[in-house]
């Protein structure tokens, strides 16, 4: 501590220790916050069409387009340490024959929901970003953004299967997943069972349904 | 003239302080930073605002640097009293 450089190094050194400790404390507060996610999901309209994976492909594959309705309450996932929430919906169905993949799982829709503390990071244009920031109303946490109400939502991704066949798949279910991305601490996904104050997802799985057969183009017959 | 100025500049840049001042600087730096961390966490938690916690932590850290790094007169109040030059036994 005898000269300025020495004091600079010593203060900075202890600052890193304090910053790390502060980060750990903040990460630990996540365990204190209750997580009670719940939701109802339902497939509203399913359709299977034939298409090509890319323009010059000679291979034709079947693609499923699954529209769904989602009514979810993920507001408890928004705490002071939440940076953003990644919500995604998967379609899952078992293999029709033994020897194939036991379970097929594909994401059909996803969304990033930011907490106001991370609004400046969103990939939006200047006007959209301004609107998003204004929607927080000056609050530091916005749990109301965790309330999802989607009606007959179009999927973001049309799904297929490595075999190219997906029509008439049976026992398909839709499932809601989330991933909490904190400012400090570990990424966490939905839990299979209750962990302390973190409850497992109440609902969030649709009833089983079957995909229809490939849609035949009969538009030409219509006037 | 030029040498005098250079000497002064060197003194300010090196910023040497006396022994008691070093002990004081160590104590003040540690306390300020630790208290900063506690205040940042607690205020952030009470207000549920992580951005506020970050700014409080940053402000406290800046304050600690300002308080400790420069050779404030406060750290040079007790200069060591060295024996005068040539006061030792002369050989010969």
A88 in contact with B at a CB cutoff of 8 Å?
Answer: no
d(CA B49, CA B57): 13
**What's this model's pTM, rounded to 2 decimal places?**
0.83
User: What is the percent of chain B with per-residue pLDDT over 70, rounded to a whole number?
Assistant: 95
Give pairs for B42-50: CB < 8 Å, separation 24+.
Answer: B44/A26, B44/A80, B45/A29, B45/A80, B47/A140, B48/A79, B48/A80, B48/A140, B48/A141, B49/A80, B49/A117, B49/A140, B49/A141, B50/A26, B50/A80, B50/A81, B50/A117, B50/A140, B50/A183
Task: Identify the CA nearest to A141 among candidates B53, B33, B36, B62.
Answer: B53
- A101 — pLDDT class (breaks 50, 70, 90): low
| Nearest CB to B48 within list A12, A14, A141 | A141
Chain-centroid distance, C-alpha A16: 34
pLDDT at A108: 95
Q: Which residue among B48, B68, B71 sits closest to A80, beta carbon to beta carbon?
A: B48
Chain B, residues 39-58, CB within 8 A of chain A, namely: 40-41, 44-45, 47-53, 57
- Quote the mean pLDDT of chain B: 90
CA distance B83 to A152: 91
Average pLDDT, chain A: 90
Domains of chain B by residue range: 16-70
Specify which residues A111 forms β-bridges with.
A87
CA distance B9 to B50: 42
**Strand A202-203 and strand A38-51: pairing?**
parallel
- CB of B63 within 8 Å of a chain A CB? The answer is no
Higher pLDDT, B89 or A55: A55
> Tell me: the pLDDT tens digits for B31-59?
999 999 999 999 999 999 999 999 999 99
State pLDDT tens for residues A110-138.
Answer: 999 999 999 888 888 889 888 888 888 88
Distance of CA B6 to the CA centre of its chain: 23
Q: Is the pLDDT of residue B86 over 90?
A: no
B37/A contact by beta carbon, under 8 A: yes
| pLDDT tens-digit series, residues A133-163 | 888 888 888 889 999 999 999 999 999 988 8
Interface contact flag, B37 A8, Cβ < 8 Å: no
The token pair at A19 is 């910053």
**The dihedral sign for the CA sequence B17, B21, B23, B27:** negative
- Residue A93 has φ and ψ, to the nearest 5°, of -150, 145
In the three-class reduction of DSSP (H, G, I as helix; E, B as strand; rest coil), residue B35 is classed as helix
Whether residue B49 and residue A22 make contact (CB cut-off 8 A), yes or no, is no
- B24 touches A at CB < 8 Å: no
Are B5 and B29 in contact, with CB atoms under 8 Å apart? no
Task: Give me the pLDDT at residue B2, please.
Answer: 84
Burial class for A217, CB neighbours closer than 10 Å (0-12, 13-18, 19+): exposed
Token digits of residue A131? 């609107």
Return the pLDDT at B80.
86
Of A143, A152, A146, A144, which Cα lies nearest the Cα of A41?
A152
Per the DSSP assignment, residues forming a β-bridge with A73 are A38, A147
**SS3 state of residue A19:** helix
Q: Which of A109, A111, A113 is nearest to A153 (CA)?
A: A109
Q: Do B33 and A140 touch (CB under 8 A)?
A: no
Q: What's the angle, vertex CA A40, arms to CA A34 and CA A43, rounded to 5? A: 145
Choose among B41, B65, B70: nearest Cβ to A25. Answer: B41
């Amino acid at each position: 501590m005898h000269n300025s450089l020495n004091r600079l190094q010593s203060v900075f050194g202890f600052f890193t220790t304090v910053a790390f400790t502060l980060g750990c404390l903040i990460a630990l507060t996540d365990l204190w916050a209750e997580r009670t996610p719940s939701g109802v999901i339902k497939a509203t309209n399913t359709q299977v069409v034939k298409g090509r994976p890319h323009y010059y492909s000679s291979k034709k594959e079947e693609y499923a387009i699954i529209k769904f309705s989602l009514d979810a309450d993920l507001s408890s996932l928004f705490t002071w340490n939440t940076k953003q929430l990644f919500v995604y919906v998967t379609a899952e169905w078992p293999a029709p024959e033994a020897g194939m993949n036991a379970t097929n799982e594909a994401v059909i829709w996803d969304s990033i929901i930011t907490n106001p503390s991370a609004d400046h990071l969103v990939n939006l244009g200047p006007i959209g970003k301004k609107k998003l920031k204004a929607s927080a109303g000056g609050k530091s946490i916005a749990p109301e953004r965790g309330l999802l109400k989607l009606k007959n939502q179009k999927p973001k991704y049309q799904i297929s299967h490595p075999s190219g066949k997906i029509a008439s798949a049976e026992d398909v279910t839709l499932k809601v997943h989330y991933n909490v991305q904190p400012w400090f601490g570990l990424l966490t996904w939905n839990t299979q069972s209750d962990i302390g104050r973190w409850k497992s997802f109440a609902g969030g799985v649709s009833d089983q349904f079957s995909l229809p057969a490939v849609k035949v183009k009969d538009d030409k017959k219509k006037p | 003239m030029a040498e005098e100025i250079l000497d002064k500049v060197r003194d300010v840049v090196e910023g040497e302080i006396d022994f008691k001042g070093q002990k004081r600087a160590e104590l003040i730096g540690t306390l300020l930073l630790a208290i900063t961390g506690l205040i940042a966490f607690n205020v952030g938690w009470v207000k549920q605002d992580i951005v506020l916690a970050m700014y409080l932590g940053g402000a406290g850290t800046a304050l600690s640097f300002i308080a400790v790094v420069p050779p404030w007169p406060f750290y040079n109040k007790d200069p060591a009293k060295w024996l005068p030059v040539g006061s030792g036994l002369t050989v010969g």
